Structure 1
Amino acid sequence: MLRNIVIRRSLAAAAVLAVTAGCTAQAATGRPADSKAGSTATAPGTGTPSAPDQATPSAKPSGTPSESATSKPEVLMASGTKSEQVRELQARLAQIGWFDDTPTGTYGPVTVASVKGFQGKRGLPTTGDTDTVTWQRLLGMTKKPTRDELAGKTVNKPAAKLDPRCMTGRVMCVSKTTRTLSWVIDGKVRSTMDVRFGSQYTPTREGSFSVFQKSRDHVSTLYHTSMPYAMFFSGGQAVHYSADFAARGYNGASHGCVNVRDKGAISALFAQVHNGDKVVIYW
């Protein structure tokens, strides 16, 4: 009897030891221990060896931006670049009034300032570098420059898309996008001229107005500057000729008025516009 008790205790101990060993192996490897040393485990129901365990790649933390989302646009041209593409960039900027010099093919300070202005008006980062986003936006707004444009002999500005408010009556239709003033009568453009506007601190108001006063040889009582051919449409803001615009181009800005740089064009316009004619300023 004693011998039977010893045998039963030995068998129980062996069973406990076997279960413990099995748990340890499963916990350590993630799969049951091989039944025989050196044997190969098989995939259930196939009779073929199963693939070795592989580490599962850890998932990216939730909310982590992908590489594509955080990557910056490629810079195509920047300060110091010299190429025909730079010449095309300058000619295209000239078409929409952002570059006044002759295209040179050299990306200098004037080009940097022009690109910054173009980027800022369109809500892009104002780096002054022409990246892929800036370039594509510019291509969508301009036409391929002609040989004369690339040589600085002429500038072919795209026609401004008239605001619907400009389609009836007599209107000075002013587009901030193309930086042009179009004199429109019953939907037909009679003349177009380059204009510039106020700075961010003294912006030119947008909306629909009416000319309420004309003053051919006006002088500003606030800034003591000459405002020839002034046509007032909102408070102290007027359409008028600017000698500073003629000399400096878009490197300067008005105090809120719509500046015209072609003296002959504004003189002819002044003679045609009547008090009560509309002024529409829009993007």
Structure 2
Amino acid sequence: MTGRRVRARTARPLWGLIAAAGLLIPAGIVGAPAAHAAGPGVTAGERGAAPCSLSTGPYQEETERHLGLTVDGVQSATDCAAIQAFQVKHGINPAQGYAGLYTYRAVVWEEALARPGGPGGCPATSGVVVCIDMDRQILWVEEAGAVVFRPVPARTGMPGYPTRTGWHEIFDREKEFWSTLYDGPMPFAQFFDRGQALHASYRDIWEDPGSHGCVNLRYEDAKTLWNILRLGDEVYVWGRRTGD
């Protein structure tokens, strides 16, 4: 992690912008609702569930602990049913009850949401900063040290295409951008370092490989960020994405 950068920036309250956009929720922290976890136009229920796997996954104990199951690190029919329901809820495909990496990423995200005092790890600034934790594959927004956009799952760069760490700044925004380099859509693109941007993705957010360096988000999460961020807002990136 690089050192804190102190900048002379006038803080602006995001609460007014969020409320004006109809995004304020009673909990006081904003993010995409669970109903959009599977992506635009596809619900978790529509994905359905694959046959239940009785194999023990590499993240069995962590998943058991998170779901309130008996923590013994051994898959059972009860474990599989609970893990499968969790996977369907979050649009993890296939939803077969196996505690693999994608399931663990969803566990980490839920635990970051529930962490008292916020997810932690992002340097405090006097203004707005988009916090991107590649270790946990999550993104959130703080203003003057307070979380104003709750953590959401993110997908950062794959090996060979790393998302660049350190301090950045949003310098360009394109609502309907098409990448000519990779021949694909980048809705709600907000560029922070050369060609790397925050943007919506139509792929499952949990899957590998990672991106080509951009920070991929679920469609509704990227749309919400588009409505509350502006040119000049800071972005701080740290950690490293791990895969299968």
TM-score between the two structures when normalised by the length of structure 2: 0.55
* 3-state SS of paired residue (1:253): coil
**Corresponding position of 1:67:** none
CA contact (8 A) 1:210 1:276 kept: yes
Task: Determine the structure 2 residue equivalent to 1:272.
Answer: 228
Alignment equivalent of 2:215, drawn from 258, 274, 282? 258
Mapped partners of 2:181, 2:168: distance in 1:
22
Aligned partner of 2:137 in structure 1 is 179
Is 1:228 aligned to residue 187 of structure 2?
Answer: yes
- 1:171 Cα deviation (Å)? 0.8
Q: In structure 2, how many angstroms separate the alpha carbons of the residues matched to 1:254 and 1:233?
A: 15
Specify every segment of 5 or more residues in structure 2 that has no aligned partner in the other structure, as ranges: 1-52, 67-82, 240-244
Residue 122 (structure 2) pairs with residue 163 (structure 1)? yes
The answer as to whether partners of 1:174 and 1:181 remain within 8 angstroms in 2 is: yes
The alpha-carbon deviation at position 190 of structure 1 amounts to: 1.3
Q: Establish whether residue 194 from structure 1 lines up as the match of residue 150 from structure 2.
A: no
Shift of 1:85: 9.5
SS in 2 for 1:231: strand
Pair 183,244 (structure 1): closer, same or farther in 2 beyond 3 Å: same
Q: Counterpart amino acid of 2:171?
A: F
1:250 to 1:91, Cα distance in 2 relative to 1, 3 A = farther
Aligned partners of 2:126 and 2:143 also within 8 Å: yes
Relative to structure 1, the CA distance from residue 86 to residue 209 in structure 2 (aligned partners, 3 Å threshold; closer, same or farther) is closer
How many residue pairs get matched? 157
SS at match of 1:250: coil
* C-alpha displacement of 1:260: 0.5
Structure-2 change in CA distance of 1:85 and 1:217 (3 Å): closer
RMSD: 3.5
* 1:226-275 deviation per Cα after TM superposition (whole angstroms, max 9, x unaligned): 000000000100000011244xx2223110000102x2222111011110
Task: Report the CA distance between 1:163 and its aligned residue.
Answer: 2.1
Contact kept, 8 Å, 2:130 with 2:141, in 1: the verdict is yes
Alpha-carbon distance change, 81 to 206 in structure 1, aligned in 2, over 3 angstroms: same
* Alpha-carbon distance, 1:89 to partner: 3.9
Higher relative contact order (CA 8 A, sep 6+): 2
- Is the alpha carbon distance of 1:240 and 1:92 closer, same or farther for their aligned partners in structure 2, counting shifts above 3 Å? farther
C-alpha distance in structure 2 between counterparts of 1:85 and 1:214, whole Å = 40
Name the amino acid aligned to 1:264.
E
Which residue identity does 1:259 align to in structure 2?
A: N
Q: Give runs of aligned pairs for residues 98-247 of structure 1, distance below 5 A.
A: 100=92, 102=95, 104=97, 106=98, 111=100, 114=101, 156-158=110-112, 159=115, 160-164=119-123, 166-191=124-149, 192-246=151-205
* Higher-Rg member (1/2): 1
The letter of the residue matching 1:175 is D
1:202 and 1:245 map into 2 onto residues whose CA distance is: 19
Q: Is the 8 A contact 1:245 1:259 kept in 2?
A: no
Distance 1:222 1:157, change over 3 A: same
- Three-state SS of the structure 2 residue aligned to 1:251 is coil
Structure 1, unmatched stretches of 5+, are 1-79, 119-141, 143-148
TM-score, scaled relative to structure 1: 0.48
Structure 2 counterpart SS, 1:157: helix
Q: Which amino acid aligns with 1:250?
A: E
